[in-house]
Copies of this chain bind each other. A is one copy, B any other.
Amino acid sequence: MALATTPEPPYYAVIFTSLRNVQPDDGYEATADRMVELAREQPGFLGVDSARAGVGITVCYWTDEASIAAWKANAEHALAQQRGQKEWYARYSLRVARVERAYAVDTGNG
């Protein structure tokens, strides 16, 4: 368990929030894991944070908009996006944002 570590801004964050349409054995988890694995291999990928507790939130960090566009168009990812819309999600939102400032703190606790 770790938080994404990213370089100094500016860079980009893609904020994907979703509500699941859960069906038995719908293959969602395996594909979600595969997409994170695949994203990590893409040019411009910086990191990812993801959590689901009812609402699912995945924030993926990228060097620039061109990297985001290339990842969106990746063939295997495009298939997963289609299944997401048709099967896995009841609702989702995607926001592309330019990170302007950031800091990280190790508190010394835990």
A54, CB-defined interface residue at 8 Å: yes
CA distance A18 to B9 in the complex (A): 19
Can you list 27 A-B pairs, Cβ within 8 angstroms, ordered by A? A1-B54, A1-B55, A3-B18, A3-B19, A3-B92, A3-B93, A6-B95, A9-B95, A13-B95, A15-B99, A17-B49, A20-B110, A49-B57, A53-B53, A59-B59, A87-B109, A89-B107, A91-B106, A91-B107, A91-B110, A92-B105, A92-B107, A93-B103, A95-B99, A96-B102, A97-B97, A98-B98
Complex copy number for this chain:
2
Of the four ranges (under 10, 10 to 19, 20 to 34, 35 or more), the interface on chain A belongs to: 35 or more
A4 on the B face (CB < 8 A): yes
Whether A109 contacts B21 by the Cβ 8 Å rule is: yes
Q: Smallest distance from the beta carbon of A70 to chain B beta carbons, Å?
A: 16
